[in-house]
Structure 1
Amino acid sequence: MERRTIGAGALAVGAVGLGCMPMSWAYSTSRQRGDESLRAVHRALDLGATLLDTADMYGPFTNELLLGRVLKERRSDAFVSTKVGLLVGEQHIVANGRPGYVRRACDASLRRLQTDVIDLYQLHRADPEVPVEETWGAMAELVRAGKVRALGFCAVGARGGRRSGNRLYDATIRQLQRIQQVFPVSAVEAELSVWSPEALDTLLPWCETRGIGFLAAMPLGNGFLTGTLTPGQGFERDDLRARHPRFTAEMMAANQPIVVGLRRVAARHGDHVTPAQVALAWTLAQGRHVVPVPGTKHERWVVENAAAARLRLSPQDLAEVARLPGAQGSWE
C-alpha cells in the first residue's frame, strides 16, 4: 500500500487506516465479535493499513485491550493512535484535560495496549475547565519521557451544514494555533467525507500548509456511502445512527442520489469497484497528507477499504463527485 507522511514528514503510515471504534463502541454491540475484530486488525496490517485508531473511551477501555492482543505479537507492523480527554459516565461523556489525569491515562493506555510507546497520542476533546495549553503541555511531557512519539488533536465534527462547520473549525484553528506554541501538532483528526466536506474550506488547508497530517474520520459517512444500507432499516438502540438525523428513513431516502452518483463513478472503473472505494479514493485525493480512517469490525470490509488506496479517480470523476447534491439532515 502507498505510504503517506504526517507531521512534517516524520511519521509514515499506510494511505488508508483502520478505525477500531466499531469493534467495541457505538455500532450495534450485539453484533460485535472479538475474534472477528482481531482478524480484521491482523488483515489490515497484512495489507499495509498500519494506522490503528482507537481511544481509551471506546468501550470504555475494551478497544485498547483488544488491540493490545494484536500489538503483543505485531507491534513493529502497526502505527498506534489512541486518545485521551474524555470520560464515559453513566449518563454523560465529560472532558477531562487536567495534567495529572493525562499522565495517568497515558500509563493506563500503554498497559492496555501492551506497548512501551504510543505513536500518536491525541487530545480527544479540549476541557473547557482547563486551559488547552496546560493539557497540551502535559502531553508534550509524555513525548519527552519517551512514552509518546507525536501529538494529535481531534476536532469536533461539523454537524450543522457548511456555514456552521466553518464557524466551528475557525474555533478549532484558534485552539491549534495556541497549542502549536507549546509543542508541534503532528496530526488533526476530523470528519471528512463526500457527504461531510466542511473541513475542506478552512481546517484541511490550514493543516496542509503546515505539513500536519489529516486523519479523515468517518470517510464512509457512518456506513451510508457504502451503499449497503437501505432507507427504513432499523438500528439497535445503542447504535449512534439510531439517533442521527441523516439516518431516519426519510433522510436516507433523500440522500440516495449521493450513493447513486458514487455507483456511477465506480462503474467506470470496473465491476469490482464499489461506492465505498470511490468515497475513500475521493478522500485520498483531497491532499497529500490526508489519511482516511474508515471504521469496521469485519475483515471483508478491511480488504475492500484497503484496495481503495490503488484507485485513482480522474479529473472527470472528481468533478462528478463534486457535483453530487449535498447531504440532507443535520444535527441542528
Structure 2
Amino acid sequence: MERRTIGASALAVGAVGLGCMPMSWAYSASRQRGDESLRTVHRALDLGSSLLDTADMYGPFTNELLLGRVLRQRRADAFVSTKVGLLVGDQHIVANGRPGYVRRACDASLRRLQTDVIDLYQLHRPDPEVPIEETWGAMAELVRAGKVRALGLCAVGARSARRGRAGLYDATVRQLERVQQVFPVSAVQAELSVWSPEALETLLPWCQARGVGFLAAMPLGNGFLTGTLRPGAGFEPDDLRARHPRFTAEMMAANQPIVVGLRRIAARHGEAVTPAQVALAWVLAQGRQVIPVPGAKRERWVTENAAATALRLTAEDLAEVGALPAALGSWE
C-alpha cells in the first residue's frame, strides 16, 4: 500500500487507516464481536493499513483493550493513534483537559494498549475550563518523556447541512495557532467526505501550508456513502445513526443521488469497484498528507477500503464528484 507521512516528524503510515471505534462504541452493540474485530485489525495490518485510530472513551476503555491484544503480537506493524480529553459518565460526556488528568490518562492508555509508546496522541476535545495551552503543554511533556511520539488535535466544527458555509472551522484554526506556539502539531483529525467537504475551506489548507497531517474522519459518511444502507432501514437504539438527522428515512431518500453519482463513477472503473472506494479515492485525492480513517469491524470492509488506494480518479471523475448535490439534513 502507498505510504503517507504525518507531520514534520515524517512518521510513515499506510494511505488508508482503520477507525476502530465501531468495534466497541457508538454503533449497534449486537453486531460487535470481539474475535471478529481482532481478525479485522490483523487483516488491516496485513494489507498495510497501519494507522489504528482509537480513544480511551470508546467503550469506554474496551477499544484500547481490544487493540492491546493485537499490539502485543504486532506492535512493529502498527501506528497507534489514541485520544485523551473526554470522560464518559452515566448521562453525559464531559471534557477534562487538566494536566494531571492528561498524564494519568496517558499511562492508563499505555497499559491498555500494551505498548510503551503512543505514536500519535490526540486531544479529543479542548476543556472550556482549562486554557488549551496548559493541556497541550502537558501532552508535550509526554513527548519529552518518551511516552508519545507526536501530538494531534481533533477538530470540531458547527456542522451545517450546506456546503461552503464560511467559518466552519475558524475556531479550530485559532486553537491550532495557539497550541502551535507551545509544541508542534503533527496531525489534525476532522470529518472529510464527499457529503461533508467543509474542511476543504480553511482547515485542510492550514494543514497543507504547515506540513501537518490530516486524518479524514468519517470518510464514508457513517456508512451512507457505501451504498449499502437503504432509506427506512432501522438502526438499533444504541446506534448513533438512530438519532442522526441525516439518517431519517426521509433524508436518506433525499440524499440517494449522491450514492447514485458515486456508483456511476465506480462503474466506469470496472465491475468490482464500489461507491465506497470512489468516496475514499476522492478523499485521498485531496492532498498527499490526507489519510482517510474509515471505521470498520469486518474483514471484508477493510479489504475493500484498502483497495481504494489503487483507484485513480480522473479529472472528469473529480469534477463529477464536485458537481454532486449538496447533502441534505442538518448535522446539528
TM-score by length of 1: 0.99
The aligned residue for residue 85 of structure 1 is 85
Report deviation, 1:160: 1.6
The 1:167–1:266 alpha-carbon spacing in structure 2 relative to 1, beyond 3 Å, is: same
Task: Deviation per CA, 1:123-166: give whole Å up to 9, x if none.
Answer: 00000000000000000000000000000000115422457854
- Alpha-carbon contact 1:161-1:198 (below 8 Å) kept: no
Report deviation, 1:331: 2.7
The 1:168–1:278 alpha-carbon spacing in structure 2 relative to 1, beyond 3 Å, is: same
Distance in 1 between residues matched to 2:8 and 2:82, nearest whole Å: 20
The 1:316–1:9 alpha-carbon spacing in structure 2 relative to 1, beyond 3 Å, is: farther
The 1:292–1:87 alpha-carbon spacing in structure 2 relative to 1, beyond 3 Å, is: same
Where in structure 1 are there 5+ consecutive unaligned residues? none
The aligned residue for residue 74 of structure 1 is 74
Task: Deviation per CA, 1:269-297: give whole Å up to 9, x if none.
Answer: 00000000000000000011000000010
Report deviation, 1:10: 1.6
Matches within 5 A, 1:174-185: 174-185=174-185
Answering whether residue 17 of structure 2 is matched by residue 17 of structure 1, we say yes
The aligned residue for residue 299 of structure 2 is 299
- Alpha-carbon contact 1:193-1:279 (below 8 Å) kept: yes
The aligned residue for residue 160 of structure 1 is 160
* One-letter identity of the residue aligned with 1:226: T
Distance in 1 between residues matched to 2:28 and 2:237, nearest whole Å: 8
SS in 2 for 1:39: helix
* One-letter identity of the residue aligned with 2:56: D
Distance in 2 between residues matched to 1:200 and 1:119, nearest whole Å: 26
Provide the aligned length of Structure 1 versus Structure 2. 332
The 1:288–1:158 alpha-carbon spacing in structure 2 relative to 1, beyond 3 Å, is: farther
The aligned residue for residue 245 of structure 1 is 245
> Which 4+ runs in 1 deviate beyond 2 A?
161-168
Answering whether residue 25 of structure 2 is matched by residue 50 of structure 1, we say no
Identity of counterpart residues, as a percentage? Answer: 86
Matches within 5 A, 1:49-128: 49-128=49-128
The aligned residue for residue 331 of structure 2 is 331
SS in 2 for 1:167: coil
Calculate the aligned-residue CA RMSD, in Å: 1.0
Where in structure 2 are there 5+ consecutive unaligned residues? none
Distance in 2 between residues matched to 1:297 and 1:163, nearest whole Å: 30
TM-score by length of 2: 0.99
Distance in 2 between residues matched to 1:328 and 1:182, nearest whole Å: 39
Answering whether residue 264 of structure 2 is matched by residue 264 of structure 1, we say yes
